[in-house]
Amino acid sequence: MLDDATRRRLTADCSQCVALCCVGPGFTASADFAITKPAGRPCPNLRQDFGCGIHDRLRRNGFAGCTTYDCFGAGQRVTQHLFPGQDWRDPQVAPALFDALTVLRQLHELLWYLAEAQERCPDDALSAELRASRGGIETLAAQPAAGLRGLDVAPHRHGVGVLLARTSALVRLRGAAPGGEDRAGADRAGGDLAGADLAGADLAGADRAGAALRGADLRAAGLRGAVLIGADLRGADLRQADLLGADLRAADLRGADLREALFLLQSQLESATGDEATRVPGRLVRPAHWGSPDPAGRIRRR
């Protein structure tokens, strides 16, 4: 689990922000958003006090995309430290606010991953590299707004990605000895992989949208960047699987075991379906929209 101080600093606290994410980003009407909103224009559901007028019914009103957005605490950092007492209603300040949010959100995401990697890394030398990288990203994030403007995060993201991949390989190797199918073998198995032994398998980047993976053993599997949209992962064992960047939209995680999953984000859980039998990492929380099984085995929706 991430230490409490890191978790608080890298977790969004909307009460300490001025609704930057409800104004800065634009979105198009889709399954995730009921309307089209240009960038820089306040969402029509935004209240004068910077609260959301439909926060408790975002999904029911067609704004599921809002529930999966995560600023990793960048919003309150911009509001409280870079632009205290100011907000986007001042047209002279708004562009700098949104620029800072865009850059800081990326840096905070990297810090979240690095904190987890450093905590779980079993190798002292690699842990030292992770600590140094984390310090470098912290230094970038601590710059004034002028220093953040136009900052190219891509090379830093690449460097962090290499370290995360190395950490993942070590953790997964210790988590489950490779012995399941490799990626090519999994591809040959066809679409139905229910109950398959895929422990330690390399499925990074695989397109498994809608795949039948119910009850599959995916312990320590490499699922980085895998497309698992609408996949049936009920009862699957995903302990110590690398889920960095995996697309879990509408994936069915009811009864799945995600304890100790690597690099799983709250936003990924929010985009999926689960229930009270789904086991999630201690650093994350069970999404409020997940249902729970009743005695008859059906799913109750909250």
Examine the pLDDT at 188 and tell me if it is beyond 50: no
Among residues 184, 189, 220, 188, which one has the least CA distance to residue 205?
A: 184
Tokens 């053993």, located at residue: 217
Examine the pLDDT at 294 and tell me if it is beyond 70: no
Q: What is the DSSP letter of 237?
A: B
Which pLDDT belongs to residue 6?
Answer: 87
Query: How many C-beta atoms surround the C-beta of residue 267 within 10 A?
Result: 17
- Are 40 and 98 in contact, with CB atoms under 8 Å apart? yes
Which pLDDT belongs to residue 5?
Answer: 86
Q: What is the DSSP letter of 82?
A: I
Q: What is the DSSP letter of 198?
A: -
Average pLDDT over residues 5-22: 94
Residues paired with residue 116 on neighbouring β-strands, in sequence order: none
Instruction: Categorize the per-residue pLDDT at 183 as very low, low, confident or very high, splitting at 50, 70 and 90.
Output: very low
Among residues 118, 21, 133, 128, which one has the least CA distance to residue 69?
A: 21
Which pLDDT belongs to residue 302?
Answer: 35
Report the predicted TM-score, pTM, of the whole model to 2 decimal places: 0.90
Q: What is the pLDDT of residues 27-85, one digit of tens each?
A: 999 999 999 999 999 999 999 999 999 999 999 999 999 999 999 999 999 999 999 99
Among residues 108, 55, 69, which one has the least CA distance to residue 267?
A: 69
21-25, 191-195, 258-262, range with the lowest pLDDT: 191-195
Instruction: Categorize the per-residue pLDDT at 291 as very low, low, confident or very high, splitting at 50, 70 and 90.
Output: confident
Examine the pLDDT at 299 and tell me if it is beyond 60: no
Average pLDDT over residues 198-213: 96
Residues paired with residue 237 on neighbouring β-strands, in sequence order: 217, 257
Cα–Cα distance measured from residue 133 to residue 158, given in angstroms and rounded to the nearest whole number = 11
Half-sphere exposure of 180 (CA within 13 A, CB side): 26
Q: What is the DSSP letter of 81?
A: I
Structure tokens at 231: 């996949």
Planar angle of CA 66, 72, 76, nearest 5 degrees = 90
Which pLDDT belongs to residue 186?
Answer: 56
Which pLDDT belongs to residue 1?
Answer: 55
- Are 277 and 255 in contact, with CB atoms under 8 Å apart? yes
Structure tokens at 72: 């990793």
Q: Cα–Cα distances in Å, from 14 out to 1, 77, 78, 84? A: 23, 11, 12, 15
Q: What is the pLDDT of residues 218-229, one digit of tens each?
A: 999 999 999 999
Which pLDDT belongs to residue 191?
Answer: 65
Residues paired with residue 262 on neighbouring β-strands, in sequence order: 242
If you average pLDDT over every residue of the chain, what do you get?
91
Instruction: Categorize the per-residue pLDDT at 187 as very low, low, confident or very high, splitting at 50, 70 and 90.
Output: low
